[in-house]
Amino acid sequence: MSEDLSRNERIKEASNYLRGTLAEGLRREITGAINEDDAQLVKFHGMYLQDDRDLRPERTRKKMEKAFAFMIRVRVPGGNLATAQWLALDRVARDYGNGTVRLTTRQSVQLHGVIKSNLRPTLQAIDAVLLSSISACGDVNRNVMCNPNPHESRAHAAALDLARAISDHLTPRTPAYREIWLDGERIIGGEDEVVEPIYGKTYLPRKFKIVVAVPPSNDVDVFAHDLGFIAILDSNGHVRGWNVTAGGGMGMTHGEPETYPRTADIMGFCATGDVLAIAEAVVTVQRDWGDRGNRKHARLKYTIEDRGLDAFRAEVERRAGVKLDPAKPFVFTSTGDRYGWTEGEDGRGHLTLFIGNGRVRDAGPGAQQLSALRRIAELHDSDFRITANQNLMVASVPPQRRAAIEQIAASNALLAPRSGLRRNSMACVALPTCGLALAESERYLPDLLDALDARLAAYGLSADDIVIRMTGCPNGCARPYLAEIGLVGKGSSRYNLYLGASFDGSRLSKLYAEDVDHAAIIERIDPLFATYAAERKVGEHFGDFVIRSGFVARTTNGRDFHANVGARRAA
Ligand code: HEM
Ligand code: SF4
């Protein structure tokens, strides 16, 4: 192999289709960890080796090993879970995890705090309800997302079918997962192309994320993803085909302007029957063209920036044997969830609950959310839908069950809050589990929201929808650069403040203030709220307002992200 390849490429190549020495590592009782190479490979199996960062100082003092445990991410295509599957996840979270279930911004479920000796029983329990964690992380296609909108029911059904078909088509074929975690027989691999016909031995240069959107909702944040399909509906609500988007991504590194978030380009339009061929072609072009030397430059967004959209599209069309039509018009209105009840076409209702930062746990009287959802799942044998905003929809509720479910939700703080800011908030996990976190996120955002809500109330803006997102580092797991107010961890209790993304998720924000702590965040945002209340036009969203008023410049895309700033920027 060329010396130019990154270390992860060597690990993948030598791993024998993701086996590495994971099976041996699991048997080593002397440590709660696994070796470094296996820690890279275990991501492809949907797990991250982590340690409790809150406990680090004490354990270092006592000369103890870090408090290692694993995060397991379960794939849930389209966010659709049978309530029986939810009950199984609830059980393993309590038996083997830290007693919480984390709904993610990509419609999957994370279990935290699973120690090494409990990994196999946990994955076996997950497998027993036909769920899996394979390729929930790693350099492969991850969980495929899909709008859970019950308003456009027929389009939603088509979108969910498509999300599941794409997910199945791009799931790694290696038997390593079954072998290592589920006691599968060792199956001797055949020719390379037989084992992994799409990925080959070294899989993709970097993670790959696909979503399916149903306008007018852009809840899945289609422009944040490597590949997207936007449903184009006819006047009867039937899907005519799909606009194809490519080259979106969030991650960047502080101080490295050659890394940047980017919104996806719209490549064209295709028929439903061509979607799998297009998806596979996009994946294989990225497999072959993506940068395998520098992992910070390995996402599809950089391939498209470097090669140009036209060359990329031509190669995708050639490999797929499909000529894309020009993109069709569509309109997105928001990225948020519609809370409360909505009516299905069959007389059943769907109740969208608010889950603060996606963390489901029993937090005390009036907020026993894990138990409450367990009770709802026990009494409602149907499905739950995880939304792309870390919330949960109880779907397909017959009229006679509505009152009981709503009552359980209401008495456990699961109904949407009044604050328009909180209703549109997301935070990534960050501390104490995420090894990359530079600052708090999930544990801090609720306090910041209290403070900002007080300011909004003072200006009569409490009920206005404003999208706010926070992450503990610039990797962007909660898609902060697409929030009207984005806060990105810079160091302990310090954040970079980004403003000016659009409410419909189509435009990135810009850096407005650097290295701000709690007091400074409020100090910088408060005058903007005041001006917004006084000067906004009818229906004007906050992200558009700060640009029109000159507080930040408008971002066009990608490379332009770091260039700032508007004339009225505070000193
Ligand atoms: C580019 C570098 C990135 C790295 C290295 C990275 C790494 C991680 C890690 C280690 C976690 C686990 C945290 C924990 O649960 O304790 C995590 C969580 C997560 N990441 Fe990322 N991430 C990256 C970017 C992204 C992006 C751009 C997205 C989405 C667009 C994303 C989506 C998620 C989701 C959904 C979670 C689950 C927790 C949540 O909902 O925030 N990640 N990531
Ligand atoms: S954004 Fe950073 S801190 Fe937050 S979960 Fe992702 S990697 Fe961790």
Both tokens assigned to 170: 């791009």
Whether 434 sits among the annotated catalytic residues: the reply is: yes
Higher-confidence position of 156 and 245: 245
Q: Kindly report the backbone phi and psi dihedral angles of residue 161, in degrees, each rounded to the nearest multiple of 5, phi listed first.
A: -55, -45
Whether 270 sits among the annotated catalytic residues: the reply is: no
The CA dihedral of 516, 519, 522, 524, to the nearest 10 degrees, is: -50
Both tokens assigned to 35: 């070796």
112 vs 436: CA distance, rounded Å:
15
Q: Of the ligands numbered here, which is closest to the C-alpha atom of 48?
A: 1
pLDDT in tens, 490-511: 999 999 999 999 999 999 999 9
Q: Does 97 contact ligand 1 (Cβ within 6 A)?
A: no
Q: How much is the pTM?
A: 0.96
- Among protein residues, the one with the nearest Cα to ligand 1's atom 3 is 475
Which of 270, 221, 220, 223 has the alpha carbon at shortest distance from 243?
A: 270
Which residues, judged by CB distance below 6 Å to any ligand atom, belong to the binding site of ligand 2? Answer: 428-430, 434, 436-437, 441, 471-473, 475-477
pLDDT in tens, 163-184: 999 999 999 999 999 999 998 6
**pLDDT at residue number 567:** 40
465 DSSP assignment: -
pLDDT in tens, 439-460: 999 999 999 999 999 999 999 9
Q: Of the ligands numbered here, which is closest to the C-alpha atom of 430?
A: 2
Q: Kindly report the backbone phi and psi dihedral angles of residue 270, in degrees, each rounded to the nearest multiple of 5, phi listed first.
A: -140, 165
How far is the centre of ligand 2, averaged over its atoms, from the C-alpha of 505 (Å)?
20
**pLDDT at residue number 559:** 75
Testing ligand 2's pocket by substitution, the residue of 108, 110, 254, 473 carrying the most ligand atoms inside 8 A of its CB is 473
pLDDT in tens, 172-229: 999 999 999 998 666 555 545 568 999 999 999 999 999 999 999 999 999 999 999 9
For residue 442, the ligand 1 atom closest to its alpha carbon is: 41
Residues contacting residue 76 through CB under 8 Å, at least 6 positions apart:
107, 108, 109, 131, 143, 386
pLDDT in tens, 417-434: 999 999 999 999 999 999
CB burial readout 169-196, b (16+ within 10 A) else e: bbbbebbbbbbbbeeeeeeebeeeeebb
Whether 307 sits among the annotated catalytic residues: the reply is: no
How far is the centre of ligand 2, averaged over its atoms, from the C-alpha of 93 (Å)?
21
Both tokens assigned to 5: 């390849």
**pLDDT at residue number 560:** 78
DSSP H/E element including 1: none
pLDDT mean across residues, the chain: 95
**pLDDT at residue number 188:** 57
> Cα 439 vs. chain centroid, distance in angstroms?
19
**pLDDT at residue number 151:** 67
449 vs 20: CA distance, rounded Å:
45
**pLDDT at residue number 149:** 75
For residue 472, the ligand 2 atom closest to its alpha carbon is: 3
Q: Are 350 and 382 in contact, with CB atoms under 8 Å apart?
A: no
Q: Does 479 contact ligand 1 (Cβ within 6 A)?
A: yes
Q: Of the ligands numbered here, which is closest to the C-alpha atom of 209?
A: 1
**pLDDT at residue number 313:** 98
pLDDT in tens, 71-101: 999 999 999 999 999 999 999 999 999 999 9
The CA dihedral of 258, 264, 269, 275, to the nearest 10 degrees, is: 90
pLDDT mean over 542-558? 91
Which of 148, 139, 141, 135 has the alpha carbon at shortest distance from 107?
A: 148
**What whole-number percentage of the chain has pLDDT above 70?**
95
SS3 for 293-305, per residue?
A: CCHHHCCHHHHHH
**pLDDT at residue number 562:** 83
176 vs 198: CA distance, rounded Å:
16
pLDDT in tens, 270-305: 999 999 999 999 999 999 999 999 999 999 999 999
